[in-house]
Copies of this chain bind each other. A is one copy, B any other.
Amino acid sequence: MPRFEQNLRIPGPTALPPTVMAAGGRQMINHRGPEFAALMERIVRRMRPFFGTRADIVLLTAAGTGALEAAVVNVLSPGDRVLAVTVGAFGDRFAKVAEVYGADVRRLEVEWGRAASAAGVRAALRQEPNARAVLLTHNETSTGVTNPIPELAAAIREVAADALILVDAISALGAVPFSMDDWGLDLVVTGSQKAWMSAPGMAFAAVGERAWAAMETARMPRFYFDLRRARESALTGQTPWTPAVAVLYQVDEGLRLMEEETPAGVFLRHAACAAATRAGLQALGFSLLADPAHASQTVTAAWVPEDLDWNPFNGEVKRRGLVLAGGQGKLKGRIFRVGHLGSVEIEEILGAIAVMEEASLRLGRVVEPGAAVAAAQRAAIAVLAAPGADVTGAIGAVAAGTPT
């Protein structure tokens, strides 16, 4: 891959476009001064359309998991009944956070690789009519599945109108269409190192009116992640604690690039890269984990086939500059994952497929040379040529910023 030393195909941290990378190398400023206030204002303003919300967006200096904790501890009290809809390792994590802080968590566990269904959520919630909150994962990074959030949210509102809907949108928000307000979500979190094309270290929480209201009575302890302190500091263009300033420089630049590309362009590029990844992997003989109806646009998980050992395969691809992610939780060693979010472009996916083909051949697997990249490219073109898609915009170095 000419753009980068490595073809970093993990589902975050994602590779930084050149101008985003450069932004990380800027000098510090006073985080209590006017330059910082302007930076924060720009970030929130440009992030808003991707959340699809007019709600407050709060900055948190933390990994995404910190934002999950913030979502839980600000709106809930110990003993509150919570329905955790979990379709993988990150759904389990969200549930665990609520349990650790004393919530009475009931799990709706969906088979890994499948999405939650409105019918399933409706049935589970009928058993828990007093649920104070429902925890949803937008995009399950461990399995490469995207839940149908609008359908799930509608089902929740139907059965338990007052339940708060808290959404882990860390690993796909910004890469796919999202409408927090239209879908009636109460609290949605994301992280800088995913679709935002920046280094890790900052998380963002969009907080709706019902969530703010819930904080008035919520009794779980919170200090560092206290969202009301963050809202109060935001009134003067600050964060309550010293923020990861350099990461925010990058998010600011990443959002500038995303605005330039337009949200529709960003979404189309992700759809094309995802289609190419799935087609390429299948042409290489890998079975995909995710239900095709809910396959993620940002990460694809494939089964390690019986005729292949993961470690030597991973060693071969690494030597060729391709960095893949292994399986998590109960799928460790049984699947591998390919990230295609953030600054990803078609040529990087083609490169990844080509490397996996070489590695497969080297390890004695039978694959037809060239077939996989051809299949990947065809799949990408099919997405880009669909009615309404702008082919010109989505191929090329759009996300990498103006070439120097």
Contact = CB atoms under 8 A, between A and B. Distances in A.
A22 B24 CA distance: 8
A200 B27 contact: no
Interface in A1-24: 4-6, 8, 10, 12-16, 21-24
Contacts of A33: 323
A244 interface: yes
Contacts of A244: 63, 199-201, 244, 247
Given A22-B25, A24-B26, A65-B223, 16 more contacts: A6-B27, A6-B29, A8-B28, A8-B29, A13-B242, A15-B27, A15-B28, A24-B25, A24-B246, A61-B62, A61-B200, A96-B223, A97-B223, A200-B243, A201-B245, A201-B246
A14 to B, nearest CB: 7
Say how many copies of this protein the assembly contains: 2
A97 B33 CA distance: 26
A250 to B, nearest CB: 8
Interface size on A, as a range, is: 35 or more
Given A31-B13, A97-B223, A63 B25 contact: no
A27, A64, A96, A220, most chain B CB atoms within 10 A: A27
B28 A224 contact: no
A310 interface: no
Contacts of A80: none
Contacts of A15: 27-28
A32 B314 CA distance: 13
A318 B124 CA distance: 60
Contacts of A392: none
A313 interface: no
Contacts of A28: 8, 13-16, 193, 199
A79 interface: no
A396 to B, nearest CB: 20
Given A61-B63, A66-B224, A223-B69, A13 B201 contact: no
A160 to B, nearest CB: 25
A391 interface: no
A280 interface: no
Contact of A5 (B27, B100, B224): B27
Interface in A48-103: 61-66, 68-69, 96-97, 100-102
B243 A325 contact: no
A113 interface: no
A13, A32, A223, most chain B CB atoms within 10 A: A223
A87 B208 CA distance: 38
8 contacts: A10-B32, A13-B242, A15-B27, A15-B28, A33-B323, A199-B247, A246-B250, A247-B247
Contact of A69 (B25, B68, B224, B326): B224
Contacts of A202: 201
A248 to B, nearest CB: 10
A245 B27 contact: no
A323 B201 CA distance: 25
A128 to B, nearest CB: 22
Nearest to A200: B242
Contacts of A404: none
A394 to B, nearest CB: 23
Given A200-B245, A224-B62, A242-B64, A26 B31 contact: no
A201 B66 CA distance: 13
B66 A221 contact: no
Contacts of A193: 28, 242
A119 to B, nearest CB: 31
A31 to B, nearest CB: 6
